[in-house]
Structure 1
Amino acid sequence: MKKRFDVIVVGELNVDIILNGIRSFPEIGKEKFCNDMTLTLGSSAAILASNLSALGKKVSFVGKIGNDMFGHFCKNQLQTKGVDTSLLCMSETVKTGATVVLNYDEDRANVTYQGAMQELTAEEVTKEMLSTAKHLHFSSYFFQPGFKNKLPQLFKIAKEIGLTTSFDIQWDPNEVWDIDLNSIVPYVDILLPNETELLHITRSPNLRKALSILAKQKNITVVKRGNKGSLLVHDNLTIIGQPFVNETVVDCIGAGDSFNAGFLFKFLNQESLESCQDFANLMGAVSTTQAGGTAAFTNYEETLQIAKEKFEYEPCDNVAG
Structure 2
Amino acid sequence: MKPYDILAIGELNVDLILNNIDGEPEVGKEKFAGDMILTLGSSTAIFAANAAALGAKVGFVGMIGQDTLGNLIRESLEAKGVDTSMLIETDEHSSGATIVLNYGEDRAMVTYQGAMAVMSFADIDKSVFEKCRHIHISSIFLQPALKADLEKILDYARVQGVTTSLDTQWDPTEIWDFDYTRILPLVSVFLPNEKELMLLTSSETIDEAVGKIKPYVNTAIIKMGSKGSLLVRRGEEPAFLPSFLNTEVVDAIGAGDSFNAGCISRFVKGETLEDCQRFGNLTGAINTTAAGGTGAFADKKTIEEIARNRFNQHITL
Partner of 1:243: 243
1:139-218 alignment runs, 5 A limit: 139-218=138-217
Q: Distance in 2 between matches of 1:225 and 1:177?
A: 19
SS in 2 for 1:232: strand
Q: In structure 2, give the amino acid aligned to 1:243.
A: S
Q: Matched residue of 2:286: which SS?
A: helix
Native 8 Å contact 1:246 1:288 kept in 2? yes
Which letter does structure 1 place at the counterpart of 2:149? K
Q: Bigger CA drift: 143-152 or 8-17?
A: 143-152
* 1:1-321 aligned within 5 A: 2-235=1-234, 236-315=236-315, 318=316, 320=317
Distance in 1 of aligned mates of 2:13 and 2:146:
18
| 2-structure distance, mates of 1:188, 1:128 | 20
- CA deviation string 1:265-286 (max 9, x = no partner): 1111211111111110110011
Once residues 188 and 108 of structure 2 are traced to their aligned partners in structure 1, the CA distance between those partners, rounded to angstroms, is 31
> What is the alpha-carbon distance in structure 1 between the residues aligned to residue 126 and residue 69 of structure 2?
29
Q: Is the 8 A contact 1:23 1:104 kept in 2?
A: no
Give the conservation status (yes or no) of the 8 Å contact 2:181–2:213.
Answer: no
How far residue 94 of structure 1 moved from its aligned partner, in angstroms, is: 1.0
Q: Which letter does structure 2 place at the counterpart of 1:256?
A: G
Q: Give distance in 2, aligned partners of 1:4 and 1:286.
A: 28
Looking at structure 1, the residues matched to 115 and 152 of structure 2 have their Cα atoms a distance apart, in angstroms, of 22
Tell me the number of residue pairs that the alignment of Structure 1 and Structure 2 aligns: 316
CA displacement at 1:148 relative to structure 2: 3.3
Displacement of 1:218: 4.5
Give me the TM-score of the superposition, normalised by structure 2: 0.97
Alignment deviations for residues 89-122 of structure 1 (CA, whole Å, 9 cap, x no partner):
1111211100000011211000000011102111
Q: Secondary structure at the match of 1:248?
A: coil
| Contact persistence 1:50–1:81 (CA under 8 A) | yes
- Aligned-pair distance for 1:23? 2.4
Deviation per CA, 1:12-34: give whole Å up to 9, x if none: 00000000001210111111111
CA deviation map 1:36-73 (0-9, x unaligned) = 00001000000000000011111010111111111100
Please, which moves more after superposition, 231-240 or 129-138?
A: 231-240
CA contact (8 A) 2:187 2:217 kept: no
- How big is each residue's C-alpha offset from its partner over 1:130-183, in whole Å with a ceiling of 9 and x where there is no partner? 110000111111111112332111101101111111001010000001122222
- 2:193/2:223 contact within 8 Å kept: yes
Equivalent residue of 1:26, what SS? coil
Contact 1:65-1:97 at 8 Å conserved across structures: yes
**Per-residue CA shift, 1:290-312, capped at 9, x if unaligned?**
11000111222320111111111
In the alignment, residue 110 of structure 1 is paired with which amino acid?
Answer: M
| Alignment check: 8 A CA contact 2:7 2:132 kept | yes
Q: Secondary structure at the match of 1:21?
A: strand
The residue type paired with residue 302 of structure 2 is E
Q: What TM-score does the superposition give when structure 1 sets the normalisation length?
A: 0.96
Provide closer, same or farther for how the CA distance between residues 237 and 126 of structure 1 changes in structure 2, counting only shifts above 3 A.
farther
For residues 119 and 91 of structure 1, the distance between their equivalents in structure 2, rounded to whole angstroms, comes to: 10
Structure-2 separation of matches of 1:295 and 1:149: 33
Runs of 5+ in structure 1 lacking a partner? Answer: none
Q: In structure 1, what is the Cα distance between the partners aligned to 2:313 and 2:223?
A: 20
Aligned-partner residue type, residue 247 of structure 1: T
In the alignment, the residues of structure 2 paired with residue 209 and residue 139 of structure 1 have an alpha-carbon distance, to the nearest angstrom, of 23
Distance 1:312 1:73 in 2: 35
Gaps of 5+ in 2: none
Amino acid at match of 1:35: G
Deviation at 1:126, TM superposition (A): 3.5
1: distance between equivalents of 2:186 and 2:23? 44
